[in-house]
Each structure stands twice: as C-alpha cells, then as structure tokens.
Amino acid sequence: MELIRLHKHKIDSVLRRHPWVFSGAIASDVSHLLDGDLVQVTDHKGLFLAAGHFQHGTIAVRLLNYDEPEIDQEFFNKKLINSVNLRLKINLLDDSNSIVRLVHGEGDSLPGLIVDFYTSIAVVQCHSIGMYKQLDLIVEGLKNALGDRLVAVYSKSSETLPGRFEIEDGYVFGAVPTPHIAVERGIRYAVDWVTGQKTGFFIDQRENRTLLGRYAVGKRVLNTFCYSGGFSLAALQAGALEVHSLDSSKKAIVLTDANIELNHFESRHKSIVADAMEYMKDLPEAYDIIVLDPPAFAKHREKRHKAIQGYKRLNAHAIRQIKPGGLIFTFSCSQVVDKYLFNNTITAAAIEAGRSIRILEQLHQPADHPINIYHPEGEYLKGLVIQVD
C-alpha cells in the first residue's frame, strides 16, 4: 500500500475514528495515486493510523480499518457477517419482512458501500471507486455471510460514481427477472432495481410507514411524492378509509398502481399525477392525514437555503389546509439540513400558516440504517408527526 502522511495538526479526526480524511489534511504528494488505491494513513512521523480507499476529491480517503492495514477477503467476510448478524438479531429477515438494508456505508464501518436485500437478491451500490474495485471481494463476502439465502447479486453503481469512471450495471452473481416480489411487514411489493430509483425501493421509511398505519385507521390520507406507494399501502393495510397517492412522475404512479393491485386495495385508492408543490396550494378535498416525503431538496450546502424555503412552502400549504385535528407526516432526507434546522423550518411554516401545532412524534431512519457515532453526518433522515389544531 502507498503511504499518505497527514499534517501534524490534522490527525485528531482520525484518532476519533471519523471515517473521512479530507484533502486539506494531507501533507504528502498524492498526485501519482490512482482513484481507488488502497492506502495507509500515517501521522506526521510515519506512525500508522488507519487504512482505506483513496480518491481524488474533497473526501480523499474513506477509512476502513484502524487496527491493521490489511483490506482483504477475510476483512470483508468479517464485516459482512457482522452486518448480516445485526439484521438477524433485530428480526428484519423473516417471513413477514424480506426487504432490508444489509450494509449502510459508514454506519456499518464500510464507507462507500450500500447493500440492499430483497428476499434473496442483494443489490450493491458503491459510492467510492475503491469499493467498486473490490466488488469481487464484496460478492464473496455476501455469499459467505448469507449462504443459501443469497440467489443473485446485482451491481448498480453507474449513477453513484463520478462520470470519469466507466461503470456498467448488471448481475455479478446469478440472475433473476424483474420486477421481483418482496415483502415488507406483510405488504407485497414489485421491486425493480434495474430501472427503479436508487436500488429499487426506499427501505429507510419502513418504521415510519408502520407508524402511519397505526394512525390511519378509518382516516382519509393523502400521500405526496408517493414513488412506489409505500406509505399508501401501509395506510390501506391498517384500515384507512381512503388513500390518494400523488406524484409528478407517471412512471411512479404506474409503480404505485401495480403495488396497490398486487395487494388488492384498489377499491379504497386513487392515484393523482401532479406537481406536489402546486397541488398543495389549493387542495380540492379535505384529508385527515397528509404525508410529505419529498426527495432531497439540497445535496450540497450551497443549496441549503433554497431547500429550506422549499420545505417551508410545502409544509405551510399542508398546515393551512389539513382538517382541524389532522396529522401531517413530514420528512427531509437532505443530509445538509439537520434535524434542528428542519424543526425550525416547520415552526416557520406553522407561523406563516397561522395555526397551532403540536409535535406528536420525532422520526428518523431505522436500525438497518445505523449511524456511526463518530460520523454524525450519517443521520440524514429526519421527520415529524404534527397535529394541527
């Protein structure tokens, strides 16, 4: 491995086990290094600190191992067994639930790697070229950790790695047709990781979908930004009186309608193709519950202010029009908008709408999306359940 030496006063974050080394912390010449190279990171005296993947950019090294420099098959076997065992311990892989995130990057001490699991298929998404270069080791590690549970592995990294790399998506072990039926808390979904967004499904809202079900019995629900209809299906399964699913994408509505039909909920459901921000300005019907789960309004700090204004407008529209005593499930998945800023934004929306608000629940990502305590940036999903008087 190549050695990367840090500036004398830039080692504290590594000693605190933060998994990123920023380019400004590096004292040695790295111009000759290739993206994805395995490197050892040392202090200014040459003392080993950690090992990881190098990549030219702001985040120069993603750290994998603080104990020894080896990043080999045994390393991936141990890490992946540990990740799978956690999901088994919290009962996220059984007959009623076969949709689970197996690896959540830094939260599972594998920065740059996402692995989602649908019944028997693992979808691997790499966010660093170093992880992509070690795809063979990852696949073997998944086989070792999952055994007979694993039928196929699909690699889907073309949209998550920088454009200068030539990445092809496809099966790297086995193959199955899509869409593929998988189950979340007894609800059947047709998941398509080949053409769908991300790895094919938004697993991180599982617990929040279940919570919505507890509130939705006998209620009329509007689910905005519905994508494949997860919140809609959870509400219908629990006994919602009626659910309307809204998305600006006709393709998303097709997915939602297919999942509604798969679970035989057609009689209590209606789909709407419309821009959510415009539609929410003047709702044609009254609802007991409104779900606001937009895509990330900001992925970079320079766009954070614009994102906050978007969240404020969207929530103000919903607060103005919800029934008295109604509930709003509101979310942000923008990493650059932390939970305190998001809560303040909802407060500003309530002030603008001129109605009284009570917070009933504070929501976040589930246990299969763990947060590395040394990497607070991993806490990206935040939400509130508010009651509007």
Pick from 255, 291, 287: nearest CA to 273? 255
Which amino acid, one-letter code, is at 228?
S
Nearest-angstrom CA–CA distance, 377 and 105: 11
Nearest-angstrom CA–CA distance, 4 and 39: 7
Nearest-angstrom CA–CA distance, 378 and 365: 10
Per-state percent for the chain, helix, strand, coil, to nearest 5: 35, 30, 40
Tokens 């509400």 belong to 235
Residue 273 exposed, middle or buried by CB count within 10 Å (0-12, 13-18, 19+): middle
Residue 333 bears catalytic tag: yes
Which of 129, 298, 333, 336 is flagged as catalytic? 333
Residue 316 CA to chain centroid, in angstroms?
A: 25
How do beta strands 326-332 and 289-292 pair?
parallel
Pick from 386, 382, 312: nearest CA to 346? 312
376: which residues sit within 8 A by CB, 6+ positions away?
none
How do beta strands 152-155 and 121-126 pair?
parallel
Torsion from C-alpha of 194, 198, 201, 205, nearest 10 degrees: 180
Q: DSSP characters for 66-99?
A: SS-S--SHHHHHHHHHHHHHHHHHTT-SBTTB-E
106: which residues sit within 8 A by CB, 6+ positions away?
19, 372, 375, 377, 378
Q: Counting every residue, how long is the chain?
A: 389
Query: Tokens representing 57?
Result: 């950019």
Tokens 């994408």 belong to 249
Question: Both ends of the chain: CA-CA distance in Å?
Answer: 62
Catalytic residue IDs? 333
